[in-house]
């Protein structure tokens, strides 16, 4: 037999051609969890694969670089691309802040692609053997979770590698892999990707009816509803977004102002719908620096705290926060982050992916987009818990929508929404204004939908290995 040892990527799926044989196989198991053959014979293996997926959310294995740590690395780097987050020193994540890290040959675009397609690959394997029509609840619930995870990953992919939905529905999005196979797929349109996400999430919500999860690291019906609310918001499906976001927030009370200042580090916070429950065993001693809290926490000796690559809130945004609003106290006097505080000084604080405040803000924005008179009251319901002096807004139309957007910027700072909101709302931005706290080398002004700012290029390896992806389909 022909002997060779080759590693290639198709659709972000890792393929190995083993020495001594010509058989490729799909590596669908993040970490040391169930593989494809096991999934086909055991529902328990499906649950193990899901456990692996949830652990994979804070993956460090796809890259040895300290600027990659799973989903949270996407959240923090996209926040750095816009205006609302400042990095005071050029270090890890520095090229993201300078908006010079989206080209095809760079590690950022490759790591994001491979991370999200690995989630899709494993989800597909679980879906294939976990019928949501099964009378066995464990099988049905596994299928429901996997459908939501697949849609979750595609939602990130299509927003990273193409402009927002509205106005770009028929432009090329990303390849759709819906089965446990490794054949390279062409780029589907943005419309096709969104249609698949909606279909997956609607099925997931039905399948997860009655599912009682053991902890908040696991997707349940509320989380699936929350993901669908995000998708509908992109699509301008305002009534659907409002309805499903209201459903998602049920049972998750807004945290108090005092709780907002507790450090955003505990998955047991009543407002959190979904997150990762981190432990010191989540990564080895050296790997702790390759973590979200290493890069964002001011108070521990990570890349922010000891190197001085502090993350700060944009001064213009900080100045918008009234002194009566407790969220102003989530930042030090020099604008440095004090919102995310490492609980035990061990880099293993919990990571939030979804919480009720976001759902409230989705309902408020969707109703404002529809012109509903109760939108301002819904906005007040959340802001009043942070600012005791806040009064009901008298704004309407675009002014009210912008007020809600600004509340999203304040409320969700550092949680990975600001760049995606700029894309979704077709907003430009400038960091160059009087008394700015952005670095002199980062005083950038960007127009709405600027290609080099708001769209990543596809990784080079995808074009080299996927015969259904011609070079002329690369993003400019």
3-class DSSP string for the chain: CCCCCEEEEECCEEEEECCCCCCEEECCCCCCCCCHHHHCCCHHHHHHHHHHHHHHCCCCCCCCCCCCECHHHHHHHHHHHCCCEEECCCCCCHHHHCCCCCCCCCHHHHHHHHHHHHHHHHHHHHHHHCCCCCCCHHHHHHHHHHHHHHHHHHHHHHHHCCCCCCCCCCCEEEECCCCCCCCCCCEEEHHHHHHHHHHHHHHHHHHCCCCCCCCCCCCCHHHHHHHHHHHHHHHCCHHHHHHHHHHHHCCCCCCCHHHHCCCCCCCCCCCEEEEECCCHHHCCCHHHHCCHHHHHCCCCCCCCCCCCCCEEECHHHHHHCCCCEHHHHHECCCCEECCCCCCCCCCCCCEEEEEHHHHHHHHHHHHHHHCCCCHHHHHHHHHCCCECCCCCCCCCHHHHHHHHHHHHHHHCCCCCCHHHHHHHCCCCEECCCCCCCCCHHHCCEECCCCHHHHCCCCCHHHHHHCCCCCHHHCCC
How far apart CA 321 and CA 318 sit, in angstroms, is 6
Contact of 314 with 391, CB cutoff 8 Å = no
| Tens of each residue's pLDDT in the chain, 476 residues | 222 232 333 343 333 222 223 222 233 334 334 455 555 556 667 788 899 999 999 999 999 899 999 999 999 999 999 999 999 999 999 999 999 999 999 999 999 999 999 999 999 999 998 999 999 999 999 999 999 999 999 999 999 999 999 999 999 999 999 987 778 999 999 999 999 999 999 999 999 999 999 999 999 999 999 999 999 999 999 999 999 999 999 999 999 999 999 999 999 999 999 999 999 998 877 789 999 999 999 999 999 999 999 999 999 999 999 999 999 999 998 999 999 999 999 999 999 999 999 999 999 999 999 999 999 999 999 999 999 999 999 999 999 999 999 999 999 999 999 999 999 999 999 999 999 999 999 999 999 999 999 999 999 999 999 999 999 999 99
Q: Give the pTM.
A: 0.92
How far apart CA 86 and CA 65 sit, in angstroms, is 21
Q: What angle do CA 387, 390, 395 make, to 5 degrees?
A: 135
How far apart CA 220 and CA 289 sit, in angstroms, is 31
Domains along the chain with CATH numbers: 6-456 (1.25.40.390)
Contact of 376 with 399, CB cutoff 8 Å = no
Q: What angle do CA 288, 289, 294 make, to 5 degrees?
A: 100
Contact of 179 with 249, CB cutoff 8 Å = no
How far apart CA 70 and CA 345 sit, in angstroms, is 21
- Residues facing residue 312 across a β-bridge: 86, 336
Contact of 3 with 19, CB cutoff 8 Å = yes
Pairing verdict, β 172-175 and 429-430: unpaired
How far apart CA 22 and CA 5 sit, in angstroms, is 10
């Amino acid at each position: 037999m022909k002997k060779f040892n080759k590693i290639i990527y198709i659709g972000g799926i890792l393929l190995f051609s083993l020495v001594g044989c010509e058989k490729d196989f799909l590596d669908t198991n993040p970490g040391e969890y169930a593989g494809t053959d096991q999934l086909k014979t055991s529902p328990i293996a499906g649950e193990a694969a899901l456990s692996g997926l949830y652990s994979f959310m804070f993956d460090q294995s796809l890259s040895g670089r300290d600027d990659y740590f799973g989903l949270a690395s996407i959240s923090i780097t996209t926040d750095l691309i816009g205006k609302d987050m400042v990095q005071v020193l050029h270090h890890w994540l520095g090229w993201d802040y300078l908006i010079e890290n989206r080209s095809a040959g760079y590690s950022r675009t490759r790591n994001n692609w491979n991370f999200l397609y690995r989630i899709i690959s494993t989800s597909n394997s679980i879906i294939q053997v976990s019928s949501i029509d099964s009378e066995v609840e464990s099988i049905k619930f596994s299928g429901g979770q996997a459908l939501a995870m697949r849609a979750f990953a595609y939602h990130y992919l299509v927003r990273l590698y193409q402009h927002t939905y509205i106005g770009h529905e028929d432009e090329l999005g990303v390849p759709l892999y819906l089965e446990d196979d490794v054949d390279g797929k062409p780029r589907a349109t943005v419309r096709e990707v969104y249609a698949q996400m909606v279909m997956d999430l609607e099925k997931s919500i039905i399948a997860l009816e009655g599912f009682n999860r053991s902890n908040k690291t696991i997707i349940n019906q509320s989380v699936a509803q929350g993901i669908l609310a995000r998708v509908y918001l992109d699509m301008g499906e305002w009534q659907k977004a409002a309805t499903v976001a209201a459903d998602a927030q049920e049972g998750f009370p807004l945290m108090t102002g005092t709780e907002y200042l507790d450090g955003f580090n505990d998955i047991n916070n009543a407002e959190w719908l979904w997150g990762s429950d981190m432990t010191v065993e989540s990564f080895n001693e050296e790997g702790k620096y390759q973590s979200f809290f290493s890069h964002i926490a001011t108070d521990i000796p990570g890349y922010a705290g000891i190197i001085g690559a502090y993350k700060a809130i944009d001064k213009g945004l900080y100045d918008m926060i009234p002194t009566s609003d407790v969220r102003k106290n989530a930042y030090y006097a020099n604008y440095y982050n004090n919102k995310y505080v490492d609980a035990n000084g061990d880099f293993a604080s919990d990571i939030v992916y979804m919480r009720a405040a976001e759902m409230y803000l989705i309902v408020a924005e969707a109703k404002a987009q529809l012109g509903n008179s109760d939108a301002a009251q819904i906005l007040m319901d959340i802001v009043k818990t942070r600012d005791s002096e806040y009064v009901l807004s008298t704004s309407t139309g675009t002014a009210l929508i912008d007020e809600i957007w600004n509340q999203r910027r304040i409320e969700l700072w550092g949680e990975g929404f600001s760049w995606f909101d700029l894309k979704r709302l077709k907003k430009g931005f400038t960091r160059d204004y009087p008394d700015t706290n952005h670095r002199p080398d980062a005083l950038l002004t960007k127009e709405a939908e600027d290609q080099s700012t708001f769209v990543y290029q596809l990784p080079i390896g995808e074009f080299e290995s996927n015969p259904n992806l011609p070079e002329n389909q690369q993003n400019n």
